[in-house]
Amino acid sequence: MLTWMGVWAFMCGIMGYIGDRQAQSVLLSGLNKLEYRGYDSAGVAIAGDAELQVEKSVGRLAVLADHLAMSPIVGKVGIGHTRWATHGRPSDENAHPHTACDREFAVVHNGIIENYLQLKEHLLSRGHRFTSETDTEVVAHLLEEYFTGDLFSTVLRVIKEIRGAYALAVVAEKEPEKIVAVRKHSPLVVGFGDGEQFLASDIPALLDYTREVHILAEGEIAVLTKDGIACYDLAGEPMTVEPFFVTWDAQAAEKGGYAHYMLKEIYEQPKAVRDTLSGRLTEEGRGVVLPELAWTVEEIKKIDRIHIVACGTSYHAGLVGKAAIEQLARIPVDVEVASEYRYRDPILSADTLILVISQSGETADTLAALRNAKACGNRVLAITNVVGSSVAREADDVMITWAGPEISVASTKAYTTQLIALYLLAIYLGQSLQVIDAVFISELVHEMQTLPQKLDDVLETAPQIEKIAQAFSTWDDAFFLGRGIDYFVALEGALKYKEISYIHAEAYPAGELKHGTLALIVEQVPVIALVTQDVLYEKSLSNIKEVKARDAYVLGIAWAGDDEIAKSVDRVLYVPRTMSFFAPVMLIAPLQLLAYYASVARGNDVDKPRNLAKSVTVE
């Protein structure tokens, strides 16, 4: 039997409030914004004038909200949690907050406490009674065991005993006027209000209440009281913090009229591309400037190889990045899945650059690969979408993708902006090393500037794609084919399709079909063939003929103006022509829409596909 650890390894959302409002409604509204972090169970603990009260239940946040609507908890201090199971199956008992024997302490936790079994054994021998299968519950019992009358110093003592990754928030019945929170390898943000303070796993949960926020540093402890927030290091020494003002529109983190976050995020891509390019092209538009990389030409010349390390969609962007960097800068690049990379012993010279890509900046495997590389003394460049994320904080150099908050589990605009960041990097390296000439650089830069408008044009084909997706959604399989860079996009198209439609989808380099997969091609099975790589055009057509000869239903996606392709496939979707090099930016939007509409047609929960969560913050 599979154990929970290592299989159900996701993240959770934490919310905390102290002030004059009823905590219940603030906690529910914050948790609602954090549900993308996990949604198998939820709970709140509220301290008021009476005893600490806890309500929790398995299922979506709505189930908890229903319970609380029927029996509201009165109180102005509270912590809440939305869970994705790691230790212990989703159940009422395993839902957070967790309490100890006397129910005087409540704890919510995101992460994993690695030594919980030893701690539990010790606590059991001391007479503590456990009610859940979670690792988190040990924290509540440790608080009970060590409580000295001062919650802050007790938390300091408890965190000396626990090992692992955690963000914790704690309330105590005996000190109902405070919340103590601590961050170690799991994100936590505090928000400053007027006579009220907030705590959350992520900024959007706070934006209805405050825009003055502080992202806790590794090992930082925050004590929230109604009148303020005091921060301390692990030794209990006070720290000075400077809150920053969040300028995003709160709407930016909400659906804004679209049926799903995913659809909204697909449509945000032209803007996200524009924002990611902004400030990174020279004024006369003839080159790339990356002010965030203070690298000298000498330093760039020394880079002998680049290892790109990432997971899922970010890994697929990395594959395109390899093609771009190798072609434009002639630096050899390897691309690896972080969960594999971190456990092998890669051959690194002192001059190998490690490039990690992560939308969230919190993916545990990517972060571990980053840390390994740093431990070897290698320079790490990160491409991430989240300012202040662990990856952004720990890398030597950071390129932010300005996609804005991505809420849907299926990554869309983050991928497109990762591509843009990688193209910018490739041009920047090529230009610094003088591998590419000035004329070619300005052609590339000029073409990049046209991509947002072209993407807008692609999105206008959504109604056609919806119809095709509806027809495909009745099939149990789909095959995505491409050659060269098109194959890398096919991989991302297939991931998107299976992730949200739950239809079996496979991507193949089209030339490889005859080595096995062709056996699966049967009459009418959907095949999506990407055909934008000019040098491989004839080869791609002949691969399409191979599947057509087996009576597959072939949807071709090709350049506008390609009349030839229509003779070989059942249906064509045209995308505006750009340089073959930038084809992924054009191809990915129809593939995202195809997956989206197939998911809708099958009645799936598009934004929260089963068994998945937005970021995988533990192994």
Q: Choose which of 53, 154, 411, 540 interacts with ligand M6R (CB under 6 A).
A: 411
* Distance of alpha carbon 119 from alpha carbon 137, whole angstroms: 10
* Residue 615 in the binding site for ligand M6R (CB under 6 A): yes
Residue 16 φ then ψ, to 5°: -145, 150
Residue 335 in tokens: 């691309």
Catalytic, 614? Answer yes
Please say which residue, 269 or 543, places its beta carbon nearer to ligand M6R.
269
Q: Choose which of 113, 355, 381, 410 interacts with ligand M6R (CB under 6 A).
A: 410
Catalytic residue among 120, 184, 413, 614: 614
* Residue 360 in the binding site for ligand M6R (CB under 6 A): yes
* Distance of alpha carbon 507 from alpha carbon 516, whole angstroms: 13
Residue 421: closest CA among 405, 392, 390, 399: 399
* Distance of alpha carbon 537 from alpha carbon 544, whole angstroms: 11
Catalytic, 12? Answer yes
* Residue 499 in the binding site for ligand M6R (CB under 6 A): yes
* The residue type at 580: S
* Distance of alpha carbon 315 from alpha carbon 262, whole angstroms: 20
* Residue 372 in the binding site for ligand M6R (CB under 6 A): no
Q: How far is the CB of 116 from ligand M6R (least distance, A)?
A: 25
How many CB atoms within 10 Å of residue 228?
Answer: 11
DSSP 80: E
Site for ligand M6R in 459-498 (CB under 6 A): 495
Binding residue count for ligand M6R, defined by CB under 6 A: 16
Residue 618: closest CA among 83, 57, 32: 83
Q: How far is the CB of 289 from ligand M6R (least distance, A)?
A: 25
Buried b (16+ CB within 10 A) or exposed e, 339-356: bebbeeebebeeebbbbb
Residue 63: closest CA among 92, 89, 106: 92
Q: How far is the CB of 583 from ligand M6R (least distance, A)?
A: 20
Q: How far is the CB of 359 from ligand M6R (least distance, A)?
A: 3
Please say which residue, 12 or 44, places its beta carbon nearer to ligand M6R.
12
* Residue 262 in the binding site for ligand M6R (CB under 6 A): no
Q: Choose which of 110, 359, 540, 568 interacts with ligand M6R (CB under 6 A).
A: 359
DSSP 283: T
Q: How far is the CB of 495 from ligand M6R (least distance, A)?
A: 6
* Residue 358 in the binding site for ligand M6R (CB under 6 A): yes
* Residue 313 in the binding site for ligand M6R (CB under 6 A): yes
* Distance of alpha carbon 193 from alpha carbon 226, whole angstroms: 9
* Residue 314 in the binding site for ligand M6R (CB under 6 A): yes
Site for ligand M6R in 293-312 (CB under 6 A): 311-312
Q: How far is the CB of 500 from ligand M6R (least distance, A)?
A: 8
> Is 335 in contact with 518 (CB distance < 8 Å)?
no
Q: Applying CB under 6 A, which residues contact ligand M6R?
A: 311-314, 358-360, 363, 366, 409-411, 495, 499, 615-616
Active site residues: 12, 614
